[in-house]
Structure 1
Amino acid sequence: MELLTIGAFSKASRLSPKALRLYDELGLLTPARVDPANGYRFYAPGQLERAQLVAWLRRLGMPLARIREVGELDAAAAAQEVRAFWARIEADTTARRDLATFLIDHLTWKDPVMSSTTNPLHLRYAALSDTGLVRDSNQDTAYAGSRLLAVADGFGPAGAPVSAAAVEVLKRLEGDSIPAGDLLNVLGDAIEQAQQAVRGVASSGPAPQEAGTTLTAMLWTGSQLALVHIGDSRAYLLRNGELFQITHDHTLVQSMVDEGRITADEATSHPQRSLLMRALVEASDAAADIRLHDARPGDRYLLCSDGLSAVVATEDLHQVLSAVADPEQAVRELITLANRAGGPDNVSCVVADVLELQQ
């Protein structure tokens, strides 16, 4: 078999000699032979396929360490790894797009409430929390006020006081007048303060490393709702008869779905479906998702713990939210549905309607 010089192999593979030397050093693409006298590298024609794979994966942006792992797999397993890598890129791109949208809205924000052609908007709301049928105590916190909607799902020995502490921090924002230009900083500071409050409460209880809480909250600005989210509690929007989930679960199984490793249907019965990847816990500074939602008259928002979303089908949530006009009655019926499904967990929900004030 005639070997190719590094120059010839470089031309055939479209990889520079410098890249080939680097890939040799990293074990990604080892030459077929290295001249012991002068160190010249020679490659077999059969190595072109591996070289092209490395080149393509680099164009995808895959890190070199992961390329080395993919190169050791058979074709089917390698294809699965590429699929998982690209799914993660798409998920990260979506997260960055959401942040970019938030920043664009934040920087160009004008309050339509001040417009003479638009009637002011306000919220009509209700919140309810229930222990469920299995748990001995309720570690959830649900809150609804004229400016703040929040659900926190505590866990661990100090779950109840931890979830209450996180929501209590955000309640301080209700009395503040927040200029549009300060909204991003105010929300970021509030999450940091909630994290500090969680640490303070957890550290004073047993097994502080096991205590924490999810937090899904919306702050009313007068024409928009600023969403803060970490964990697997959820926020939904009912608009024009359609129900949309507007939060992304920070769980192991959701990351597996994002990476294409399992399907959404498989995630619902996965044994680790409750394992959180992000939450407010004593020893973590995990980032919360923050974004803005423009409010329209007729919008209805649902915030809930997984005690509701994990046991009640989305179509049943949709039916209640569409059919029951009064938020108080809606939250009662939603909790009834969770308990009819066995009530395996604490269940909390907030329902809020965006209404136009008639002048």
Structure 2
Amino acid sequence: MADDEEREVLMELLTIGAFARASRLSPKALRLYDELELLRPARVDPDTGYRYYAVEQLGQARLVAWLRRLGMPLAEIRAVCALDPAGAAREIRAYWARVEAETAVRRDLAAFLVDQLTDQSRRDHTIMLELRYSAHSDRGLVRPANQDSVYAGRRLLVVADGFGPAGAPASSAAVEALRYLDEAEELPADGVLSLLEDAVRSAGQAVCDVAEGTNKVGTTLTALLWTGARLALAHVGDSRAYLLRDGELSRMTQDHRVEPRSLLLLKALAGGMDPVPDVRLQEVREGDRYLLCSDGLTEVVPDARIREALGASAVPGEAVEALITAANEAGGPDNVSCVVADVMETTA
């Protein structure tokens, strides 16, 4: 009788081969996912070790297959499969936002390397260029205090937007940790991205000291470092960098947010976090205008208005004033900070 019942159970199950075909996962993959406790079979024959799967497991198996096609690591797939549909959707959305941001950084670096190797970015190096810049941070009209910090010097431009009960000290500590780069007489032609990335790590440690280990205190950080021929960018968080060239405005950074309108950050300099910053090299042209800003500007002023303000102002200081005014005229709900820098021929 017991054997009859067992045969009936087996008839309701799928063999590993049939389940593999139905789920579009190979038997080898199914065996691996069993070992990793990611997709356990419904039954394993105690004598032969042969695996059997229930039809009800096809949904999870197909989800695993789709997530693998997305390139999601197995550890993250395990976490997603343990969630309800709404939670799984949020995690997948957040994962793909990270993939897109990282892909954008690699795409920019690849384009730069192609230009360098094919000499498509050749320009007249006899022209000496320098930065003309202006920076200002404003409390806005609603917040009781200003937690932003800015810095602009002959080599270094920085915006940091602090958050949490010690957000102002956190953003200030991050900026101060980078200021030594502005004092360097000369920067290496090669390795400037590594230099800037190391500086951001130092800034992260400085923020950790302020945060005392809690991730409820931290800051964004967006910085441009002038080498004399190029700009090196480092970026963590949802502050932004823009380029205005020949009247066209383009964003140089991707917001590290869980969702486009979310206040939750995927990356920030905060206690207990060690994020890898987005870094890239930017070829410059005489006449380029660069903007670094906190989200107090971009949350209330659309890109079209930003482009208009940048294009209409003759000097960086006027542009900074126009942008902060635009943010406050839109309600000024947050601190707003702007750094504007022009690439110009050296006059001395």
State the Cα distance separating 1:303 from its structure 2 match: 0.8
Whether the aligned pair in 1 keeps the contact of 2:245 and 2:287 (CA below 8 Å) is yes
Q: Which residue of 2 aligns with 1:155?
A: 163
Whether the aligned pair in 2 keeps the contact of 1:112 and 1:223 (CA below 8 Å) is no
State the Cα distance separating 1:283 from its structure 2 match: 3.0
Q: Does 1:142 align with 2:131?
A: no
Gaps of 5+ in 2: 1-10
Whether the aligned pair in 2 keeps the contact of 1:306 and 1:347 (CA below 8 Å) is yes
Q: Give me the whole-angstrom Cα distance separating, in 1, the residues matched to 2:335 and 2:74.
A: 45
Q: Give me the whole-angstrom Cα distance separating, in 2, the residues matched to 1:211 and 1:162.
A: 7
State the Cα distance separating 1:41 from its structure 2 match: 4.5
Q: Does 1:212 align with 2:248?
A: no
Q: Which residue of 2 aligns with 1:235?
A: 241
SS in 2 for 1:180: coil
Taking the TM superposition and a 5 Å limit, the aligned residue runs for 1:74-113 are 89-98=99-108
State how many pairs are aligned.
335
1:124 is aligned, of 132, 141, 149, to 132
Percentage identity across paired residues of the two chains: 60
Q: Does 1:188 align with 2:197?
A: yes
Q: Which residue of 2 aligns with 1:260?
A: none
SS in 2 for 1:191: helix
State the Cα distance separating 1:179 from its structure 2 match: 1.5
Q: Give me the whole-angstrom Cα distance separating, in 2, the residues matched to 1:221 and 1:73.
A: 50
1:332 is aligned, of 321, 343, 347, to 321
Q: Does 1:275 align with 2:264?
A: yes
Q: Which residue of 1 aligns with 2:340?
A: 351
TM-score w.r.t. the length of structure 1 is 0.75
Whether the aligned pair in 1 keeps the contact of 2:197 and 2:234 (CA below 8 Å) is no
Alpha-carbon RMSD across the aligned residues, in angstroms, is 4.0
Which amino acid letter does the alignment assign opposite residue 305 of structure 1?
A: S
Q: Which residue of 1 aligns with 2:6?
A: none
Q: Give me the whole-angstrom Cα distance separating, in 2, the residues matched to 1:316 and 1:86.
A: 29
State the Cα distance separating 1:122 from its structure 2 match: 1.6
Relative distance call for 1:107 and 1:157 in structure 2 (3 A) is farther
1:30 is aligned, of 33, 37, 41, to 41
SS in 1 for 2:172: helix
State the Cα distance separating 1:221 from its structure 2 match: 1.1
SS in 2 for 1:119: coil
State the Cα distance separating 1:15 from its structure 2 match: 5.6
2:287 is aligned, of 279, 298, 301, to 298
Relative distance call for 1:224 and 1:289 in structure 2 (3 A) is same
Which amino acid letter does the alignment assign opposite residue 142 of structure 1?
A: V
Whether the aligned pair in 1 keeps the contact of 2:159 and 2:223 (CA below 8 Å) is yes
SS in 2 for 1:252: coil
State the Cα distance separating 1:22 from its structure 2 match: 3.9
